[in-house]
A and B are shown apart, each in its own frame.
Chain A
């Protein structure tokens, strides 16, 4: 027997002849994929709508492409042959190396991939050298105070300087408190024998809590006070808006 149900017709639904709009409150997985809500206003993102300073995917791609372009060394489109016929490759190895046409990004990717396959044993090395250095160190035995550090430039042999304790000195003048702790030999050893970082690891990261990113006009370089409605780039005024739309607007990019 078919189920007959009374469809509630409350204030949120509108009446039309012969059929009715009904608020659908139930969860329907088939409709999750295409959210009927206005996607422009409320993007389906975990963190809620995008903030003023956040960038769209399109802008991020544009920035990444631009930075790659700015930091590129060689233009792959320009092929410059070498007129100089120098000595021929002498061994199999060198012939192979001389024929490489790879760019730096290939090598860096290789290095990273290789490391993921087999992380090298981070063995402590150069212990002898580090120990020898430590013995010569002035820091390990007599850490310099800030005052000392400034005078050290004019002192040819800082190793010769060894302050004698003087009980008559006023305790206020004592620099004991401001002295950093002497170098821990084990720590120093570890620092000196640490293997080099990967290229990618060595970049200075952007710390949190710094000043907010400054925005500049896309066209003239003055403060970017206004956002382009079409692509979100910053512009400074109407004049630059026209120029921006004619050249750099990402709306159709």
Chain B
């Protein structure tokens, strides 16, 4: 059914835009109608995993949203087309896009590229060759009617959450996502390129770190990426300060020989691992030394058997990397220092404006205690006479998508930036790259 305000042939070119926030972990996508009355909401955004997974147990290969059907995540191997935030492997990305959006697949979002505009987001500092590959695939392989590619975070300036006139004048985005964490100062929807700062620490690194720690201390879980990601999301929290971090570390210490300590059950939890027969998801419960000891001895032949993964300092030491990457020897500053480094190259007036409008997006911001820690550490670093306002997008994962969708729903904005296939055919990919970089 055509949405409200839909009238055929009002403008040249298609009225429908595929807004695609192509993240390394999930694809955030939705079809947006361009028109003054079109008001896309979070409900228009579909999230699907951006991966191809292969299970050695049921010998099946799952493409993106097929994973919903998966019942056994044990030893599931993933192939991700996006590396460090950039689309690298087009063979698999094409398969995923076709499966999710094109007519051949069976997913929920269908469109015909020839009658659709594409609004694609990318990470900042993308190598030019990869951008060129992307442009060529979009026009030559998928043949979208017209296309615009831009750094995803800039669209947050069009997010309708604030009462300010859009685009927001000064906006500092802290995007803490799967691949990495980036600090992006944005002025009237335009990225201040020289002030972009990045931390290698992202959700992927945290999951891999937890995987490594659990494998070293308990079971070998190096192949259980899915499970460890689930555990990370369920139990991890950020300590409110580094002093509290030290206290928590004390409370989760087993003690030394001759001086055994009892673990504090308010922090240490036992994660009951799924067996993929009765249960496909595990759950956490407070640590119980009795049951834990039983785990190591014989379990009853009859009745429920359970495998426990005790989690103590892993719960807060893993997300602590976002604030202190040197803990694993990574020679980078934590998020608060990175924000200050980014601002240090900007004039003072912009600094004041940016600090008063900081928005955190990305999945890591959902970790318990993240915002509180970030606010308190940043407040210490920011000069006292500056006002600081820090908030998390109400849906940090879809925040960028909604901003981009609002951008795409406004015909006059979209018309300025879209490049049609005819223009591409005439001028080529080198020209297109320069155009999107703002050099033409």
Contacts and interface: CB of A to CB of B under 8 A. Distances in A.
Say whether A and B bind each other.
Answer: yes
B249 interface: yes
Contacts of B124: 196, 202
Interface string A170-199: 000000001011111001100111111111
B432 to A, nearest CB: 13
Interface string A196-238: 1111011111110010011010011111000000000000111
Contact of B196 (A55, A110, A202, A220): A202
B262 interface: no
Interface stretch (B13-21, B75-83, B360-368, B404-412): B75-83
Interface stretch (B26-34, B230-238, B332-340): B332-340
A138 B63 CA distance: 48
A27 interface: no
A84 B199 contact: no
A197 to B, nearest CB: 6
Contacts of B350: 139, 183, 188, 191
A8 interface: no
A11 interface: no
B356 A152 contact: yes
Given A67-B200, A196-B193, A80 B317 contact: no
Interface string A129-168: 1000100111100011011011011111111000000000
B349 A181 contact: yes
B141 A152 contact: no
B104 interface: yes
A94 B200 contact: no
A194 B317 CA distance: 38
A187 B125 CA distance: 22
A203 B91 contact: no
B3 interface: no
A206 B125 contact: no
A143 B356 CA distance: 13
B436 to A, nearest CB: 11
Interface stretch (B35-43, B126-134, B286-294): B126-134
A143 B314 CA distance: 46
B194 A100 contact: no
Q: How large is the interface on A (under 10, 10 to 19, 20 to 34, 35 or more residues)?
A: 35 or more
B198 interface: yes
A91 B213 CA distance: 47
B341 A205 contact: yes
B356 A102 contact: no
B324 A214 contact: yes
B341 to A, nearest CB: 5
B325 to A, nearest CB: 8
A80 B125 contact: no
A133 B79 CA distance: 42
Interface string B185-200: 0011010111111111
Given A150-B389, A196-B196, A203-B198, A126 B90 contact: no
Interface residues of B, number: 109
B99 A84 contact: yes
A70 B136 contact: no
B195 to A, nearest CB: 8
A191 B346 contact: yes
A155 B169 CA distance: 13
Does more than half of chain B's interface fall in helix, strand or loop, or is it mixed?
mixed
Contact of B327 (A156, A196, A214): A214
B389 A219 contact: no
B54 A70 contact: no
A78 interface: yes
Given A86-B98, A178-B385, A73 B84 contact: yes
A229 to B, nearest CB: 18
Contacts of A1: none
Contacts of A55: 329
Nearest to B189: A133
B170 A84 contact: no
B330 A73 contact: no
A183 B347 contact: yes
A80 B341 contact: no
A247 B143 CA distance: 54
Nearest to B196: A202
A25 interface: no
A90 interface: yes
A203 B197 contact: yes
Nearest to A201: B125
A207 B84 CA distance: 24
Interface in B292-330: 312-314, 317, 324, 326-330
Interface stretch (B159-167, B266-274, B275-283, B395-403): B159-167
B419 interface: no
A199 B179 CA distance: 13
Interface in B229-266: 249, 252-254, 256-257
13 contacts: A67-B329, A69-B212, A73-B80, A84-B63, A86-B99, A107-B130, A146-B386, A180-B348, A183-B347, A204-B332, A206-B331, A219-B216, A222-B249
Given A82-B52, A188-B347, 15 more contacts: A74-B78, A83-B61, A91-B141, A97-B133, A100-B133, A144-B356, A146-B387, A191-B347, A195-B193, A197-B196, A199-B198, A219-B217, A220-B254, A220-B313, A239-B257
Interface of A: 55, 63, 66-67, 69-75, 78, 80-84, 86-87, 89-91, 93-94, 97-104, 107-108, 110-111, 123, 125-126, 129, 133, 136-139, 143-144, 146-147, 149-150, 152-159, 178, 180-184, 187-188, 191-199, 201-207, 210, 213-214, 216, 219-223, 236-239, 247-248
Q: Report the 3 A-B pairs with minimum CB-CB distance, sorted nearest first.
A: A204-B338, A237-B256, A149-B356
